[in-house]
Structure 1
């Protein structure tokens, strides 16, 4: 039987645990703290996620697949798990925001292979052990042999795996989906209805325009059509939908600004592309965490 370990019991980790368990794979959820009953709610009702939970890396053994669902800034905290779960034949799937999946995870993966993944799943942790899957079932991975095996793993899970030949462009397009909505909702503590405000709409366009210029400088095939495409994407969401950064702020967790707006600023400096709007929102989000504020300078 295929063995799968999911690191992280947040919203995405819970959705994936339920999906993988549905395929019949030998599934275990790895988390830092004990988890009681896990419940996943969707349009079809509430479903118990009946998978074993481990809280001590010392009890873990190598598996075929590791699905890493922690926030990008928390990858180092997953190191004890990865050191026990990995083997030469293991594939570590990095299901995270940003465009530097391999750079973050490979140093901790040892001889295991790393497969970057873009997650188009909107899910919210609404209480301890309770997650609401709002919309989306698509995961995008680069087109290679590991991607084909991953698609086979999730066959029958209810999730869709799309294999993308131009993963660089796909990753930057996914970043565009985060680069405006996430910081604006996190800073205003409002849901996606905030994007409909006139002045906020202008800020949204500015953040996206800067990010498109930076992405193009980094080799992604982005242009003005991506601005229209991303604005249309935002309009698809309900007014009461939120973002991962907003959920983090509401829960008292640090928002992953370093991977999103911080990455735009960093790559912009590297390529000589001005990013004053992204610099501003990144600095404001970092200032909410005094111990991290120097990262925005």
Structure 2
């Protein structure tokens, strides 16, 4: 299974780290190149253990996204871990263009409106809503 995690906040990193050993490949998509570079160098530390160097856990950014190399083109699931307000037109257009026909978007947003936006772009049958009781703390 190939998963893309959009959003490198506390929960995005927590889920990426937790799923890394069970997936063929996990790509965490950050907002900036600087954030992706820092994660490549430092890795993720989960419960005192660094996951740097896990071959199936990589970090990329949207900042200089090149359409033909879009990491989202080859995935089974996209975990949408951004804040609701970050689900803007650019991100929606990106998903609409790049999401593979069989891939599913799993939403972890609070609030209302994101489901409808995503369903309009990728179809209602490809959007799942998730609830979690997990908590994470992101440290620089």
- Normalising by structure 1, we get a TM-score of 0.38
Does the alignment pair 1:47 with 2:50?
Answer: yes
Deviations 1:131-180, CA, capped at 9 Å, x for gaps: xxxxxxxxxxxxxxxxxxxxxxxxxxxxxxxxxxxxxxxxxxxxxxxxxx
Give the match's secondary structure for 2:87. helix
Task: Kindly provide the CA deviation profile for residues 36-63 of structure 1, in whole angstroms up to 9, marking residues without a partner as x.
Answer: 2232332xx2322542122225221242
Q: Alpha-carbon deviation of 1:22? A: 1.4
Q: What are the residue-to-residue correspondences of 1:68-83 with 2, within 5 Å? A: 68-76=80-88, 77-83=90-96
**1:38 matches 2:37:** no
- Give me the whole-angstrom Cα distance separating, in 1, the residues matched to 2:5 and 2:133: 18
Does 2:113 match 1:108? no
Partner of 1:280: none
Change in 2 beyond 3 A, CA 1:7/1:96: same
Query: When the two structures are superposed, what TM-score results if normalisation uses the length of structure 2?
Result: 0.74
Q: Do the aligned residues in 1 keep the contact of 2:105 with 2:126 (CA within 8 Å)?
A: yes
Q: Is the 8 A contact 1:65 1:92 kept in 2?
A: yes
| Greater RCO structure (CA 8 Å; 6+ sep) | 2
Measured in 2, the distance between the counterparts of 1:57 and 1:6 equals: 18
1:122 matched to 2:135? The reply is yes
Structure 2 alignment gaps of length 5 or more: none
RMSD: 2.3
Q: Secondary structure at the match of 1:9?
A: coil
Whether 1:86 and 2:99 are equivalent positions in the alignment is: yes
Say if 1:66 and 1:85, in contact at 8 Å, map to a contact too: no
Aligned equivalent of 1:63: 75
2:16 alignment counterpart: 17
Number of paired residues? Answer: 124
3-state SS of 1:83 partner: helix
Which structure is larger by alpha-carbon Rg, 1 or 2?
Answer: 1
